[in-house]
Amino acid sequence: MITLAFPWALLALPLPLLVFWLLPPHRERVPALRFPFFRRIAETASAKTGPGAVILRRTAIQMVCAGIVWILLVIAIARPERIGEAVEVEQSARDVVLAIDISGSMDAKDFNTPEGQSKQRLDAVRGVVGEFVAEREGDRMALIVFGSRAYVQAPLTEDLTTITTLLDQTEVGMAGPHTALGDAIGLSIRTFEASDIDQRLLILLSDGTDTASRMSPVNAAEIAAGKEIEIFTIGVGDPDAAGEDRVDLETLKTVAARTGGSFFFAEDERGLREVYGRIDELAPRLTNTLSYRPKTSIAYLPLLIAALTGLIALLVLSKGLRSGRATT
């Protein structure tokens, strides 16, 4: 299918006819000699006389070629385009931030695998979260890790391989030994400021009690709710432990409830995998489908034909002039 990008340019097609009809032929004054006995000289020389001003007449080839060239030039200005088949592109309709606790308590090896072996908490989290990220192809995700401070490991990106790689490179204690749960939520809110998508999801995993935040987790959750950020919280670890090693389930529940999200608790690797599977069901991948037809300009074709037409006309007229001179 071929369309014109600037169809209004076709209004210029009748312009040469308007010039031909409305404007008089060009006349130019030139110096001349006046002979009172000019008529006698012409009769003596048997020469045929004519009017003093002559309007040169164009040949049929000139008129036809000029008309064709003008039409082709106007078509080229209108910029014909070839429209291709429709192409559909899926674009993520939700941004996801993963906030992972890497405080000192995540070094505990109390996570049981399905085979009954003990595993480090962070090691189990890395494996399960890596699978979760791999299944959200096309989504934009960000990674935040927190301990005594919260840090952005990766801003919102569609490069999920980078998210997985950076997660695999995290180690317990890299962000400090304590737990800054509220700061992690606050940093997630700032990360979402770079998002122009309305639906935003924060998945927050922690195994301790907030002891290092400058803002309480509940207050941070209130701010997140005001910005329409939904928070899913995941508690891991021992709720009966003492001090910072005790996972604060009540705070995690409150944070999730304040934003309309959900709270989950995982005791082992299988439970953690079920939690992320449940989150995937509650927050499935959302996409917007954009459709467009690629356009390819073919304005060069009428220009090429116009140039060839003009060249052929020039060759034919030059040949005719040489033939006329040779006959004379």
Residue 147 sits in the same domain as residue 278: yes
Residue 57's identity, in one-letter code, is R
Residue 273 sits in the same domain as residue 309: no
3-class secondary-structure state, position 20 = helix
- Interatomic CA distance for residues 294 and 106, integer angstroms: 51
- Interatomic CA distance for residues 18 and 3, integer angstroms: 27
Residue 147 sits in the same domain as residue 247: yes
Residue 130's identity, in one-letter code, is G
Residue 245 sits in the same domain as residue 155: yes
Report the run of H or E that residue 302 belongs to, with start and end. helix 300-327
Query: Could you give the C-alpha distances from 106 to 100, 120, 241, 284, in angstroms and in order?
Result: 10, 7, 13, 28
Query: Could you give the C-alpha distances from 128 to 168, 176, 249, in angstroms and in order?
Result: 11, 23, 21
- Interatomic CA distance for residues 199 and 123, integer angstroms: 30
- Interatomic CA distance for residues 121 and 129, integer angstroms: 12
Q: Is residue 166 part of a domain?
A: yes
Q: Is residue 131 part of a domain?
A: yes
pLDDT reported for residue 51: 59
Residue 315 sits in the same domain as residue 230: no
Q: Is residue 68 part of a domain?
A: yes
Q: Is residue 33 part of a domain?
A: no
Query: Could you give the C-alpha distances from 168 to 93, 126, 131, 172, 201, in angstroms and in order?
Result: 27, 6, 12, 11, 22
Residue 116 sits in the same domain as residue 65: no
Residue 64 sits in the same domain as residue 191: no
pLDDT in tens, the chain (328 residues): 888 888 899 999 998 888 888 877 666 666 766 667 767 777 777 777 665 555 556 778 888 888 899 999 999 999 999 888 877 666 656 789 999 999 988 888 888 887 878 888 899 999 999 988 888 877 789 999 999 999 999 999 988 999 999 999 999 999 988 889 999 999 999 999 888 777 789 999 998 888 888 889 999 999 999 999 999 999 987 777 776 678 889 999 999 999 999 999 988 888 888 888 888 777 666 566 666 678 888 999 999 999 999 898 888 878 766 665 555 5
φ and ψ of 154, to 5 deg: -150, 130
Q: Closest Cα to residue 211, out of 257, 236, 254, 248?
A: 248
Residue 244 sits in the same domain as residue 125: yes
Residue 44 sits in the same domain as residue 103: no
Report whether 98 contacts 203 (CB < 8 A). yes
Which residues does 201 contact at the CB level (< 8 Å), separation at least 6? Answer: 94, 95, 96, 97, 229, 230, 231, 232, 283
Residue 69 sits in the same domain as residue 179: no
φ and ψ of 284, to 5 deg: -65, 160
Q: Is residue 31 part of a domain?
A: no
Q: Is residue 30 part of a domain?
A: no
pLDDT reported for residue 273: 87
Sign of CA dihedral 243, 249, 250, 252: positive
- Interatomic CA distance for residues 179 and 280, integer angstroms: 26
Domain assignment of residue 312, given as a range: 2-24+38-84+297-327
Which residues does 116 contact at the CB level (< 8 Å), separation at least 6? Answer: none
How many structural domains does the chain have?
A: 2
Q: Is residue 309 part of a domain?
A: yes
CATH of the domain at 274: 3.40.50.410
**Predicted TM-score of the model (pTM):** 0.63
Q: Provide the β-strand partners of residue 302.
A: none
- CB neighbour burial string for 34-47, b if at least 16 within 10 angstroms, e if fewer: eeeeeeeeeeeeee
Residue 14 sits in the same domain as residue 75: yes
Residue 140 sits in the same domain as residue 250: yes
Q: Is residue 32 part of a domain?
A: no
